[in-house]
Amino acid sequence: MEKQALPASSCSLVLLEETKKRPPLLSNGGSTSYPSASTNGSLAPLAAAGSGTGLLGSTCTGQEKTGGVGTGPGYPERETWTRQMDFIMSCVGFAVGLGNVWRFPYLCYKNGGGVFFIPYLLIVFVGGIPIFFLEIALGQFMKAGSINVWNIAPLFKGLGYASMVIVFFCNTYYIMVLAWGFYYLIKSFSSTLPWSTCENEWNTPSCIEIFHHQDCKNASLANVTIGNSNMTCAELGDARSPIIEFWENKVLNISSGLDEPGHINWELMLCLIVVWILVYFCVWKGVKSTGKIVYFTATFPYVVLIILLVRGITLPGAYNGIMYYIKPDWSKLQEAQVWIDAGTQIFFSYAIGLGALTALGSYNRFNNDCYKDAFVLALINSGTSFFAGFVVFSILGFMAAEQGVDISQVAESGPGLAFIAYPKAVSLMPVAPLWAALFFFMLLLLGLDSQFVGVEGFVTGILDLCPGKYYHRYRREIAVAICCLLCFIIELSMVTQGGMYVFQLFDYYSASGMTLLWQAFWECIVVAWVYGADRFMDDVARMIGYRPVPWMKWCWSFITPCVCMGIFLFHLVNYKPLTYNTVYVYPWWGEVIGWCLALSSMLCIPVSVLYKIFRAKGSFRQRWAHLTTPVWGAHHLEYMAPDIRSLSSLSPGTDDNKVIIFESVM
């Protein structure tokens, strides 16, 4: 890169003169040792810069002025968490969500019970924790959201745009689960649960409350009427339970396919509006308010889980259900699908690749020990998944015992567990409305904090793109309102009769395993091979006061990218067209829409790289050098300034001075 590529601006001269008069405060007092992680992380030069009197004052104009946080008049200093526990609870609320309760237990039972923990824990340490730590540390080091954090290697800023697209899609469809949960919660406040009987207007003649499967085991009884249902064993195969009819005929009022959207379900739309209002008022004031709300939304679900577990283990059949959950089947380790399921679950449950963890980390103090936080949060996340399995399978064991069927016939995953299997089990308990209300309230809280932290991550990325001259007192409130309104408009298609088909398109393609794995792969490549793994390890050491174990560097450089790409290729090779209930096959144009949703994020990375390279000037090597040079923020000045004594021999007017100051600060 040619020297003229570094502009000789007035900002460089001002910075040099100010540096000579008042040397920047190095975090280690001028020595080369790393700063202690126990310091409060306050940045004196940063605070001064915000007032226009510090090392990055108001004399810096143009593009240079937008490089930092609080670097001129009108630039508010970046918020920080009131206390560090706010950050921990926000990460717990975001990462610990519905997938821990309704997906992990099912995968565990399906993939060999206790044996599933072997591939699960292995991939936690080679993929989950390294990327989880990488995203938090990047946000904390760069003090920026999911887009500007990639100023660490500007050529790959498309990673930020990709994560914004993914988290936007997640915010759009994920909240539908909360709307359904809120609808069930309202319906739970009745003496008789509406999904427990066949005496409602939405039920069909084939509805039956008790199936009596055990009475039909003898093939000679095919034409014998069973119980009070007036159905023969032959007809029993086509019978439907009241909970399925409540879900499909009342809640969804589902149409015959994607090409028949039908009319809007007004009750469901009102539930969606209420949930969005809750999300808005959780996010609109920033991390100061969000950090307080998550203390309730992240902890109360654990209280409910404990209550449900105590109730579940006292029910008949609970022991069989729990043993079904943890009994090891060692032969499963030979199946590739088991390892793929373990890897995919980790990337889902750890919320990797969405950019929200980066946004949460950006509000940390610079000296926060994010390395220790990553391990604590990983332990909480995986521990919650394991604990939730006991709750779910104790109830499913009771349900199987009551119906006289094998547990495999009642075990469900995803919405099938939350809105069919578990409500059915609850309806068989004494005081059913109480347990139903508790379960759906827990479900609402589990999803609510994941939702509003996802919105926070998206809004943070958008606001970081706005230069200070566009600062408005209520810009956060306006940005959150626009985000919520835009998502709501898209979601109107999901509260129609064909809404479930639209929901599955978003769920299967927009934030699928492939998109998250693609994102995680490039994050590791850029940090380890473009910016430099050793270089980033040094940056982490400047923040926390010590170097993480070399294992992290090896994972970022080799192991984790290979794991991500291996699972990605497996998904691609074994791709199956989307279906609903294994019966309805989506039309070709529905699959095209789905792939457009997936590629809209995945193509952000290569397209932005090619665009930046073709727009740059000079040889390829010069373009690469220029586009991969980090753009530092103002807060880096205290921690990354060069040794001032080495500048004392330079005269104020030389070009060398300008280049050194510009590179060290900007």
The pLDDT confidence band at residue 3, using thresholds 50, 70 and 90, is very low
Tokens of 611: 């665009």
More confident residue, 241 or 122: 122
The answer to the question of whether 450 is labelled as a binding residue is yes
SS3 of residue 191 by DSSP: coil
Output helix, strand, coil percentages for the chain, rounded to the nearest 5.
65, 0, 30
pLDDT mean over 127-146: 93
* 151: number of Cβ within 10 Å: 18
More confident residue, 641 or 634: 634
In this predicted structure, the answer to whether residue 406 has a pLDDT above a threshold of 70 is yes
44-58, 73-87, 336-350, 546-560: least confident range: 44-58
pLDDT mean over 372-390: 92
In this predicted structure, the answer to whether residue 44 has a pLDDT above a threshold of 50 is no
The pLDDT confidence band at residue 218, using thresholds 50, 70 and 90, is low
pLDDT digits (tens, 9 = 90+) for 508-566: 998 888 899 999 999 999 999 999 999 999 999 999 999 999 999 999 999 999 999 99
Residue 656: partners with Cβ closer than 8 Å, 6 or more residues away: 650
The pLDDT assigned to 78 comes to 76
Asked whether 350 and 378 are in contact (CB, 8 A), the reply is: yes
More confident residue, 137 or 32: 137
The answer to the question of whether 69 is labelled as a binding residue is no
CA dist 161 → 17, 93, 601 (Å): 38, 24, 8
Q: What percent of the chain has pLDDT over 70?
A: 78
The pLDDT assigned to 231 comes to 58
More confident residue, 640 or 131: 131
pLDDT mean over 467-484: 79
Average pLDDT value for the chain: 80
Residue 583: partners with Cβ closer than 8 Å, 6 or more residues away: none
Asked whether 644 and 24 are in contact (CB, 8 A), the reply is: yes
**Separation of alpha carbons 570 and 116, rounded Å:** 19
pLDDT digits (tens, 9 = 90+) for 75-98: 456 778 888 898 999 999 888 888
**Separation of alpha carbons 449 and 655, rounded Å:** 52
pLDDT mean over 219-237: 53
More confident residue, 224 or 589: 589
pLDDT mean over 384-391: 91
**Separation of alpha carbons 341 and 446, rounded Å:** 22
In this predicted structure, the answer to whether residue 438 has a pLDDT above a threshold of 50 is yes
The pLDDT confidence band at residue 145, using thresholds 50, 70 and 90, is confident
The answer to the question of whether 153 is labelled as a binding residue is no
CATH of 84-204+240-614, one of 1.10.3470, 3.40.1280, 1.20.5, 1.20.1740: 1.20.1740
The pLDDT assigned to 164 comes to 94
Q: What percent of the chain has pLDDT over 90?
A: 42
In this predicted structure, the answer to whether residue 491 has a pLDDT above a threshold of 70 is yes
SS3 of residue 496 by DSSP: strand
| CA torsion, ordered 128, 132, 134, 139, to nearest 10 deg | 170
In this predicted structure, the answer to whether residue 25 has a pLDDT above a threshold of 90 is no
More confident residue, 208 or 517: 517
The pLDDT confidence band at residue 40, using thresholds 50, 70 and 90, is very low
The answer to the question of whether 100 is labelled as a binding residue is yes
The answer to the question of whether 646 is labelled as a binding residue is no
Highest mean pLDDT range out of 29-38, 318-327, 536-545?
536-545
The pLDDT confidence band at residue 376, using thresholds 50, 70 and 90, is very high
The answer to the question of whether 95 is labelled as a binding residue is yes
Which residue is it, tokens 């989880």? 132
In this predicted structure, the answer to whether residue 246 has a pLDDT above a threshold of 50 is yes
* DSSP secondary structure letters along 375-439: HHHHHHHHHHHHHHHHHHHHHHHHHHHHHTS-GGGT---THHIIIIIHHHHHHTSTTHHHHHHHH
Q: Is the dihedral of CA 319, 324, 329, 333 positive or negative?
A: negative
Q: Could you report how far apart the first and last alpha carbons of the chain are, in Å?
A: 16
pLDDT mean over 139-167: 93
Q: Which residues pair with 585 in a beta bridge?
A: 579
In this predicted structure, the answer to whether residue 168 has a pLDDT above a threshold of 90 is yes
Asked whether 456 and 283 are in contact (CB, 8 A), the reply is: yes
pLDDT mean over 424-437: 87
* DSSP secondary structure letters along 158-187: HHHHHHHHHHHHHHHHHHHHHHHHHHHHHH
Rounded to 5°, the CA angle 113-115-119 comes to 120
Q: Specify the DSSP class assigned to residue 252.
A: S
CA dist 394 → 323, 383, 406, 445 (Å): 9, 17, 14, 22
Tokens of 370: 């994010």
Which residue in 212, 55, 19 sits closest to 648, CA to CA?
19
Q: Which residues pair with 264 in a beta bridge?
A: 496
**Separation of alpha carbons 232 and 225, rounded Å:** 4
Asked whether 439 and 422 are in contact (CB, 8 A), the reply is: yes
More confident residue, 610 or 2: 610
The pLDDT assigned to 232 comes to 62
The answer to the question of whether 331 is labelled as a binding residue is no
Asked whether 127 and 346 are in contact (CB, 8 A), the reply is: yes
Q: Is the dihedral of CA 35, 461, 491, 173 positive or negative?
A: negative
The pLDDT confidence band at residue 473, using thresholds 50, 70 and 90, is confident
More confident residue, 472 or 167: 167
Asked whether 45 and 88 are in contact (CB, 8 A), the reply is: no
Q: Which residues pair with 240 in a beta bridge?
A: 207
Which residue in 61, 103, 50, 75 sits closest to 472, CA to CA?
75
**Separation of alpha carbons 87 and 64, rounded Å:** 31
Residue 492: partners with Cβ closer than 8 Å, 6 or more residues away: 264, 269
The pLDDT assigned to 637 comes to 76
In this predicted structure, the answer to whether residue 332 has a pLDDT above a threshold of 90 is no
172-186, 451-465, 470-484, 558-572: least confident range: 470-484
In this predicted structure, the answer to whether residue 315 has a pLDDT above a threshold of 90 is no
pLDDT digits (tens, 9 = 90+) for 188-200: 998 889 998 888 8
SS3 of residue 207 by DSSP: strand
The pLDDT assigned to 216 comes to 60
The pLDDT confidence band at residue 236, using thresholds 50, 70 and 90, is low
The pLDDT assigned to 11 comes to 39
The pLDDT assigned to 543 comes to 92
In this predicted structure, the answer to whether residue 60 has a pLDDT above a threshold of 70 is no
Tell me the Ramachandran region of residue 30: left when phi exceeds 0, alpha when psi lies from -120 to 50, beta otherwise: left
pLDDT mean over 258-265: 91
In this predicted structure, the answer to whether residue 64 has a pLDDT above a threshold of 70 is no
Q: Domain limits of the chain?
A: 84-204+240-614
**Separation of alpha carbons 318 and 58, rounded Å:** 68
Helix 432-465 to helix 266-283 angle (10° resolution) is 60
The pLDDT confidence band at residue 624, using thresholds 50, 70 and 90, is very high
The pLDDT assigned to 39 comes to 38
More confident residue, 604 or 400: 604
The pLDDT assigned to 640 comes to 62
